[in-house]
Amino acid sequence: MGCIGVVIFAVTLRANSGLLSTPQVDRNNNFDLIRLFAALQVFTAHLISHLNLQTDGLTGLMAYVRMFPGVPIFFMLSGYLIFASASRGGLLVKYAQRRIARIFPGLWVSIAFTFAVLWAFGYVNTANVRTDVIWTWIAATGTFAQFWDHPFFAGWANGGVNGALWTLSVELQFYIFTPILITILKRVEHPTRWIWTLVMAAVVVNVATGLLPQELFITKLLKISLLPYLIYFCIGILAFIHREVMRRILNGRFILWISVYLVFVGATSVANQTHDASYFLNGFGLIGVCILSLVVFSAAYSARGLADRTLRGTDLSYGVYIYHMVVIGAFVEAEMSGWPVAGAALVLTLGIAALSWFAVERPCLSLSHSNSQRSMDAAAVPVATSRANCLSDGASDQAAASNT
Protein backbone atom coordinates (compact mmCIF):
# COMPACT_ATOMS: atom_id res chain seq x y z
CA MET A 1 0.00 0.00 0.00
CA GLY A 2 2.83 2.37 0.86
CA CYS A 3 4.51 1.71 -2.50
CA ILE A 4 1.25 2.57 -4.26
CA GLY A 5 1.22 5.93 -2.48
CA VAL A 6 4.78 6.70 -3.53
CA VAL A 7 4.10 5.73 -7.16
CA ILE A 8 1.07 8.04 -7.27
CA PHE A 9 3.14 10.80 -5.66
CA ALA A 10 5.91 10.42 -8.23
CA VAL A 11 3.52 10.26 -11.17
CA THR A 12 1.76 13.46 -10.16
CA LEU A 13 5.01 15.34 -9.89
CA ARG A 14 6.03 14.47 -13.43
CA ALA A 15 3.30 16.64 -14.85
CA ASN A 16 4.47 20.04 -15.98
CA SER A 17 2.25 22.69 -14.49
CA GLY A 18 4.58 25.61 -15.12
CA LEU A 19 7.50 25.69 -12.73
CA LEU A 20 7.67 29.43 -12.11
CA SER A 21 4.38 30.59 -13.53
CA THR A 22 2.30 33.18 -11.70
CA PRO A 23 1.32 31.58 -8.39
CA GLN A 24 -2.33 30.61 -8.22
CA VAL A 25 -3.11 29.19 -4.81
CA ASP A 26 -6.63 28.40 -3.73
CA ARG A 27 -7.21 30.60 -0.71
CA ASN A 28 -10.06 28.42 0.54
CA ASN A 29 -7.78 26.04 2.43
CA ASN A 30 -7.14 24.63 5.89
CA PHE A 31 -3.47 25.55 6.32
CA ASP A 32 -4.07 27.39 9.61
CA LEU A 33 -5.78 24.32 11.06
CA ILE A 34 -3.01 21.99 9.89
CA ARG A 35 -0.37 24.23 11.45
CA LEU A 36 -2.27 24.23 14.74
CA PHE A 37 -2.48 20.43 14.61
CA ALA A 38 1.29 20.23 14.00
CA ALA A 39 2.03 22.58 16.91
CA LEU A 40 -0.24 20.60 19.23
CA GLN A 41 1.45 17.36 18.15
CA VAL A 42 4.80 18.79 19.25
CA PHE A 43 3.20 20.09 22.45
CA THR A 44 1.66 16.67 23.22
CA ALA A 45 4.91 14.79 22.68
CA HIS A 46 6.84 17.19 24.92
CA LEU A 47 4.08 17.25 27.55
CA ILE A 48 3.96 13.47 27.95
CA SER A 49 7.74 13.20 27.98
CA HIS A 50 8.61 16.05 30.35
CA LEU A 51 5.73 15.61 32.80
CA ASN A 52 6.33 11.83 32.98
CA LEU A 53 2.83 10.92 31.85
CA GLN A 54 3.90 7.72 30.11
CA THR A 55 1.66 4.79 30.94
CA ASP A 56 1.06 1.41 29.31
CA GLY A 57 -2.14 2.77 27.85
CA LEU A 58 -0.35 5.70 26.27
CA THR A 59 2.39 3.65 24.65
CA GLY A 60 0.29 2.65 21.66
CA LEU A 61 -1.25 6.10 21.38
CA MET A 62 2.15 7.79 21.37
CA ALA A 63 3.31 5.44 18.61
CA TYR A 64 0.63 6.97 16.39
CA VAL A 65 1.16 10.54 17.65
CA ARG A 66 4.76 10.24 16.48
CA MET A 67 3.56 9.16 13.04
CA PHE A 68 2.27 12.71 12.46
CA PRO A 69 5.47 14.60 13.30
CA GLY A 70 4.79 18.29 13.70
CA VAL A 71 8.19 19.61 12.65
CA PRO A 72 8.34 17.86 9.23
CA ILE A 73 4.73 18.96 8.62
CA PHE A 74 5.72 22.55 9.39
CA PHE A 75 8.64 22.32 6.96
CA MET A 76 6.42 20.85 4.21
CA LEU A 77 3.93 23.69 4.60
CA SER A 78 6.77 26.21 4.64
CA GLY A 79 8.13 24.81 1.38
CA TYR A 80 4.71 25.21 -0.23
CA LEU A 81 3.82 28.65 1.14
CA ILE A 82 7.22 30.34 1.24
CA PHE A 83 8.05 29.24 -2.31
CA ALA A 84 4.66 30.60 -3.39
CA SER A 85 5.29 33.90 -1.62
CA ALA A 86 8.77 34.34 -3.07
CA SER A 87 7.58 33.33 -6.55
CA ARG A 88 5.24 36.30 -6.70
CA GLY A 89 8.17 38.54 -7.53
CA GLY A 90 8.32 42.19 -6.53
CA LEU A 91 10.83 43.79 -4.22
CA LEU A 92 13.05 41.54 -2.15
CA VAL A 93 12.60 43.98 0.74
CA LYS A 94 8.86 43.19 0.72
CA TYR A 95 9.58 39.50 1.06
CA ALA A 96 12.11 40.18 3.84
CA GLN A 97 9.72 42.45 5.75
CA ARG A 98 7.04 39.79 5.82
CA ARG A 99 9.42 37.07 6.91
CA ILE A 100 10.82 39.24 9.71
CA ALA A 101 7.34 40.22 10.85
CA ARG A 102 6.30 36.57 10.94
CA ILE A 103 9.16 35.39 13.17
CA PHE A 104 10.78 38.09 15.26
CA PRO A 105 8.14 40.21 17.07
CA GLY A 106 6.46 37.15 18.56
CA LEU A 107 9.84 35.61 19.33
CA TRP A 108 11.12 38.72 21.12
CA VAL A 109 8.03 38.93 23.32
CA SER A 110 8.36 35.22 24.12
CA ILE A 111 11.97 35.84 25.21
CA ALA A 112 10.75 38.57 27.57
CA PHE A 113 8.12 36.16 28.92
CA THR A 114 10.75 33.45 29.39
CA PHE A 115 13.01 35.93 31.20
CA ALA A 116 10.13 36.77 33.57
CA VAL A 117 9.50 33.06 34.28
CA LEU A 118 13.19 32.46 34.98
CA TRP A 119 13.21 35.48 37.29
CA ALA A 120 10.08 34.27 39.13
CA PHE A 121 11.77 30.95 39.86
CA GLY A 122 15.00 32.64 40.96
CA TYR A 123 17.02 31.21 38.09
CA VAL A 124 17.76 34.73 36.94
CA ASN A 125 18.43 37.26 39.69
CA THR A 126 20.15 40.55 40.40
CA ALA A 127 23.50 38.79 40.75
CA ASN A 128 23.66 37.00 37.39
CA VAL A 129 21.55 39.36 35.31
CA ARG A 130 24.59 41.62 34.90
CA THR A 131 26.78 38.83 33.56
CA ASP A 132 27.23 37.98 29.91
CA VAL A 133 25.44 34.63 30.41
CA ILE A 134 21.94 36.07 30.25
CA TRP A 135 22.62 38.61 27.53
CA THR A 136 24.47 36.12 25.35
CA TRP A 137 21.46 33.80 25.57
CA ILE A 138 19.06 36.65 24.74
CA ALA A 139 21.18 37.75 21.77
CA ALA A 140 21.47 34.21 20.38
CA THR A 141 17.80 33.34 20.84
CA GLY A 142 16.59 36.67 19.52
CA THR A 143 18.60 36.60 16.29
CA PHE A 144 19.66 33.49 14.35
CA ALA A 145 21.13 31.01 16.86
CA GLN A 146 18.03 29.61 18.55
CA PHE A 147 19.65 26.15 18.47
CA TRP A 148 22.21 27.27 21.07
CA ASP A 149 21.45 27.10 24.80
CA HIS A 150 23.97 28.44 27.30
CA PRO A 151 25.33 25.69 29.61
CA PHE A 152 24.16 27.83 32.52
CA PHE A 153 20.58 26.75 31.79
CA ALA A 154 21.33 23.02 31.77
CA GLY A 155 19.85 22.73 35.27
CA TRP A 156 16.54 24.35 34.34
CA ALA A 157 13.57 21.97 34.15
CA ASN A 158 14.64 19.12 31.86
CA GLY A 159 17.92 20.56 30.62
CA GLY A 160 17.20 23.71 28.65
CA VAL A 161 15.12 26.87 28.53
CA ASN A 162 13.21 26.31 25.30
CA GLY A 163 14.52 23.40 23.28
CA ALA A 164 11.77 23.70 20.67
CA LEU A 165 13.22 26.91 19.21
CA TRP A 166 16.00 25.18 17.28
CA THR A 167 13.69 24.85 14.29
CA LEU A 168 13.42 28.64 13.98
CA SER A 169 17.05 28.87 12.92
CA VAL A 170 16.34 26.23 10.25
CA GLU A 171 13.25 28.13 9.12
CA LEU A 172 15.27 31.34 8.83
CA GLN A 173 17.75 29.48 6.63
CA PHE A 174 14.85 28.40 4.42
CA TYR A 175 13.76 32.04 4.17
CA ILE A 176 17.19 32.99 2.81
CA PHE A 177 17.53 29.89 0.65
CA THR A 178 14.21 30.27 -1.20
CA PRO A 179 14.79 33.51 -3.17
CA ILE A 180 18.29 32.27 -4.07
CA LEU A 181 16.79 29.03 -5.39
CA ILE A 182 14.15 30.90 -7.42
CA THR A 183 16.80 33.19 -8.93
CA ILE A 184 18.79 30.13 -10.05
CA LEU A 185 15.72 28.35 -11.44
CA LYS A 186 14.80 31.39 -13.54
CA ARG A 187 18.21 31.34 -15.21
CA VAL A 188 18.75 27.65 -15.95
CA GLU A 189 17.49 25.86 -19.03
CA HIS A 190 15.76 22.91 -17.34
CA PRO A 191 14.57 24.07 -13.89
CA THR A 192 12.57 20.89 -13.23
CA ARG A 193 15.74 18.80 -13.51
CA TRP A 194 17.44 21.11 -11.03
CA ILE A 195 14.57 20.67 -8.59
CA TRP A 196 14.75 16.88 -8.82
CA THR A 197 18.54 16.94 -8.46
CA LEU A 198 18.06 19.01 -5.32
CA VAL A 199 15.49 16.52 -4.01
CA MET A 200 17.83 13.56 -4.58
CA ALA A 201 20.70 15.39 -2.86
CA ALA A 202 18.41 16.28 0.04
CA VAL A 203 17.46 12.62 0.51
CA VAL A 204 21.13 11.59 0.56
CA VAL A 205 22.06 14.24 3.14
CA ASN A 206 19.06 13.39 5.33
CA VAL A 207 19.86 9.67 5.39
CA ALA A 208 23.59 10.30 5.87
CA THR A 209 22.93 12.57 8.85
CA GLY A 210 21.07 9.76 10.56
CA LEU A 211 23.80 7.21 9.81
CA LEU A 212 26.79 9.31 10.86
CA PRO A 213 28.06 8.97 14.45
CA GLN A 214 26.09 11.56 16.38
CA GLU A 215 29.07 12.71 18.43
CA LEU A 216 30.97 13.93 15.34
CA PHE A 217 31.27 17.69 14.90
CA ILE A 218 30.13 17.46 11.28
CA THR A 219 26.96 15.64 12.38
CA LYS A 220 26.18 18.27 14.99
CA LEU A 221 26.80 21.00 12.43
CA LEU A 222 24.54 19.31 9.88
CA LYS A 223 21.71 18.98 12.39
CA ILE A 224 21.53 22.75 12.97
CA SER A 225 21.63 23.53 9.25
CA LEU A 226 18.80 23.34 6.74
CA LEU A 227 20.45 20.48 4.83
CA PRO A 228 19.00 17.39 6.62
CA TYR A 229 15.51 18.94 6.62
CA LEU A 230 15.61 20.17 3.04
CA ILE A 231 13.77 17.05 1.86
CA TYR A 232 10.63 18.14 3.74
CA PHE A 233 10.88 21.67 2.38
CA CYS A 234 11.39 20.35 -1.16
CA ILE A 235 8.29 18.18 -0.86
CA GLY A 236 6.35 21.36 -0.16
CA ILE A 237 7.95 23.09 -3.14
CA LEU A 238 7.06 20.20 -5.44
CA ALA A 239 3.50 20.16 -4.14
CA PHE A 240 3.20 23.87 -4.97
CA ILE A 241 4.78 23.61 -8.41
CA HIS A 242 2.41 20.79 -9.37
CA ARG A 243 -0.50 22.10 -7.34
CA GLU A 244 -3.11 21.71 -10.07
CA VAL A 245 -2.34 18.02 -10.60
CA MET A 246 -2.05 17.45 -6.86
CA ARG A 247 -5.38 19.15 -6.29
CA ARG A 248 -7.17 16.86 -8.76
CA ILE A 249 -5.83 13.81 -6.93
CA LEU A 250 -6.12 15.07 -3.34
CA ASN A 251 -9.13 17.39 -3.12
CA GLY A 252 -11.84 15.95 -0.94
CA ARG A 253 -9.95 12.68 -0.47
CA PHE A 254 -8.52 13.19 3.02
CA ILE A 255 -10.19 10.05 4.42
CA LEU A 256 -8.69 7.95 1.63
CA TRP A 257 -5.14 9.21 2.10
CA ILE A 258 -5.11 9.11 5.87
CA SER A 259 -6.42 5.54 5.68
CA VAL A 260 -3.58 4.60 3.32
CA TYR A 261 -1.08 6.24 5.67
CA LEU A 262 -2.43 4.54 8.80
CA VAL A 263 -2.32 1.13 7.09
CA PHE A 264 1.29 1.81 6.09
CA VAL A 265 2.19 2.95 9.61
CA GLY A 266 0.52 -0.08 11.15
CA ALA A 267 2.34 -2.45 8.80
CA THR A 268 5.81 -0.93 9.02
CA SER A 269 6.02 0.63 12.48
CA VAL A 270 3.55 -0.79 14.95
CA ALA A 271 3.76 -4.34 13.57
CA ASN A 272 7.46 -4.86 12.86
CA GLN A 273 9.32 -1.64 13.74
CA THR A 274 10.75 -1.15 10.25
CA HIS A 275 9.64 2.46 9.98
CA ASP A 276 11.29 4.85 12.41
CA ALA A 277 9.55 8.21 12.89
CA SER A 278 12.91 10.00 13.20
CA TYR A 279 13.64 13.19 11.24
CA PHE A 280 16.35 11.15 9.50
CA LEU A 281 14.78 8.63 7.18
CA ASN A 282 15.32 5.02 6.25
CA GLY A 283 13.68 3.50 3.18
CA PHE A 284 10.34 2.98 4.86
CA GLY A 285 10.58 6.42 6.41
CA LEU A 286 10.97 8.05 3.00
CA ILE A 287 7.89 6.23 1.72
CA GLY A 288 6.02 7.24 4.85
CA VAL A 289 6.93 10.91 4.45
CA CYS A 290 5.73 10.89 0.83
CA ILE A 291 2.37 9.44 1.87
CA LEU A 292 2.19 11.81 4.85
CA SER A 293 2.63 14.76 2.48
CA LEU A 294 -0.39 13.53 0.52
CA VAL A 295 -2.35 13.42 3.78
CA VAL A 296 -1.26 16.95 4.69
CA PHE A 297 -2.12 18.58 1.36
CA SER A 298 -5.31 16.56 1.05
CA ALA A 299 -6.34 17.91 4.46
CA ALA A 300 -5.63 21.43 3.18
CA TYR A 301 -8.19 21.06 0.40
CA SER A 302 -10.80 18.76 1.94
CA ALA A 303 -13.75 19.98 4.05
CA ARG A 304 -13.14 23.44 2.60
CA GLY A 305 -13.84 26.32 4.92
CA LEU A 306 -13.32 24.21 8.06
CA ALA A 307 -10.38 26.36 9.20
CA ASP A 308 -12.34 29.58 8.66
CA ARG A 309 -15.37 28.25 10.52
CA THR A 310 -13.36 26.97 13.50
CA LEU A 311 -10.48 29.44 13.78
CA ARG A 312 -11.98 32.52 12.06
CA GLY A 313 -8.59 33.73 10.89
CA THR A 314 -6.87 33.15 14.24
CA ASP A 315 -3.49 31.43 13.93
CA LEU A 316 -2.36 30.05 17.29
CA SER A 317 0.25 27.67 15.90
CA TYR A 318 3.30 29.91 16.29
CA GLY A 319 2.34 30.95 19.81
CA VAL A 320 1.75 27.35 20.87
CA TYR A 321 5.11 26.40 19.44
CA ILE A 322 7.28 29.11 20.97
CA TYR A 323 5.62 29.16 24.42
CA HIS A 324 4.73 25.55 25.20
CA MET A 325 8.17 24.48 26.43
CA VAL A 326 8.39 27.49 28.76
CA VAL A 327 5.01 26.60 30.29
CA ILE A 328 5.91 22.91 30.61
CA GLY A 329 9.32 23.82 32.02
CA ALA A 330 7.72 25.98 34.71
CA PHE A 331 5.60 23.03 35.89
CA VAL A 332 8.63 20.73 35.85
CA GLU A 333 10.66 23.24 37.86
CA ALA A 334 7.79 23.48 40.35
CA GLU A 335 7.86 19.67 40.60
CA MET A 336 4.26 19.38 39.46
CA SER A 337 3.00 16.58 37.23
CA GLY A 338 -0.06 14.50 36.48
CA TRP A 339 -3.05 14.89 34.19
CA PRO A 340 -4.56 17.95 35.94
CA VAL A 341 -1.23 19.72 35.43
CA ALA A 342 -1.19 18.61 31.79
CA GLY A 343 -4.64 20.14 31.33
CA ALA A 344 -3.50 23.37 32.98
CA ALA A 345 -0.44 23.47 30.72
CA LEU A 346 -2.65 23.12 27.63
CA VAL A 347 -5.03 25.88 28.73
CA LEU A 348 -2.16 28.22 29.65
CA THR A 349 -0.33 27.58 26.40
CA LEU A 350 -3.41 28.20 24.27
CA GLY A 351 -4.25 31.32 26.26
CA ILE A 352 -0.76 32.77 25.89
CA ALA A 353 -0.75 31.84 22.19
CA ALA A 354 -4.03 33.73 21.72
CA LEU A 355 -2.60 36.80 23.45
CA SER A 356 0.49 36.55 21.27
CA TRP A 357 -1.61 36.40 18.10
CA PHE A 358 -3.99 39.24 18.87
CA ALA A 359 -1.55 41.58 20.65
CA VAL A 360 1.71 40.96 18.78
CA GLU A 361 1.70 38.74 15.68
CA ARG A 362 -1.39 39.95 13.83
CA PRO A 363 -0.69 43.68 14.34
CA CYS A 364 2.93 43.23 13.20
CA LEU A 365 1.89 41.27 10.12
CA SER A 366 -0.68 43.93 9.24
CA LEU A 367 1.91 46.69 9.69
CA SER A 368 4.41 44.78 7.58
CA HIS A 369 1.85 44.36 4.81
CA SER A 370 1.07 48.08 4.85
CA ASN A 371 4.74 49.09 4.79
CA SER A 372 5.68 46.63 2.05
CA GLN A 373 2.72 47.73 -0.06
CA ARG A 374 3.86 51.37 0.20
CA SER A 375 7.34 50.27 -0.86
CA MET A 376 5.88 48.49 -3.86
CA ASP A 377 3.81 51.53 -4.82
CA ALA A 378 6.82 53.83 -4.51
CA ALA A 379 8.92 51.56 -6.68
CA ALA A 380 6.12 51.17 -9.23
CA VAL A 381 6.65 47.41 -9.33
CA PRO A 382 3.60 45.46 -10.58
CA VAL A 383 2.13 42.85 -8.26
CA ALA A 384 1.23 39.36 -9.54
CA THR A 385 -2.17 39.40 -11.31
CA SER A 386 -5.35 39.68 -9.27
CA ARG A 387 -5.91 39.14 -5.59
CA ALA A 388 -8.01 36.08 -6.28
CA ASN A 389 -5.04 34.38 -7.96
CA CYS A 390 -2.49 35.06 -5.23
CA LEU A 391 -1.82 33.65 -1.83
CA SER A 392 -3.48 35.62 0.90
CA ASP A 393 -0.99 37.40 3.12
CA GLY A 394 -2.25 35.39 6.05
CA ALA A 395 -1.67 32.08 4.30
CA SER A 396 1.83 32.85 3.12
CA ASP A 397 3.12 34.87 6.04
CA GLN A 398 1.85 32.60 8.79
CA ALA A 399 3.75 29.48 7.72
CA ALA A 400 5.62 28.37 10.44
CA ALA A 401 7.91 26.87 12.15
CA SER A 402 8.80 27.77 11.84
CA ASN A 403 8.00 27.41 14.51
CA THR A 404 8.66 24.29 15.97
How does the average pLDDT of the chain come out, rounded? 83
Whether residue 165 is contained in a domain is answered as yes
Q: Which of the four pLDDT bands, split at 50, 70 and 90, describes residue 260?
A: very high
Whether residue 7 is contained in a domain is answered as no
The parent domain of residue 208 ranges over 23-397
Whether residue 121 is contained in a domain is answered as yes
Residue 16, pLDDT above cutoff 90? no
Residue 253, pLDDT above cutoff 70? yes
The total number of residues shown for the chain amounts to: 404
Residue 17, pLDDT above cutoff 80? no
Q: Which of the four pLDDT bands, split at 50, 70 and 90, describes residue 363?
A: very high
Q: What is the pLDDT of residue 267?
A: 82
Whether residue 13 is contained in a domain is answered as no
Number of domains in the chain: 1
Residue 309, pLDDT above cutoff 70? yes
H or E element: which one contains 117?
A: helix 92-120
Torsion sign, CA atoms 309, 314, 317, 320 = negative
Residue with more model confidence, 141 or 150: 141
Rounded Cα distance, 201 and 177, in Å? 15
Whether residue 203 is contained in a domain is answered as yes
Residue 245, pLDDT above cutoff 70? yes
Q: What is the pLDDT of residue 162?
A: 94
Residue 393, pLDDT above cutoff 80? no
Q: What is the pLDDT of residue 56?
A: 55
Among residues of the chain, what percentage have pLDDT more than 90?
56
Whether residue 196 is contained in a domain is answered as yes
Whether residue 123 is contained in a domain is answered as yes
Rounded Cα distance, 284 and 366, in Å? 43
Q: What is the pLDDT of residue 270?
A: 56
CB hemisphere CA count around 248 (13 angstroms): 9
From the centroid of its chain, how far is CA 68? 13
Whether residue 1 is contained in a domain is answered as no
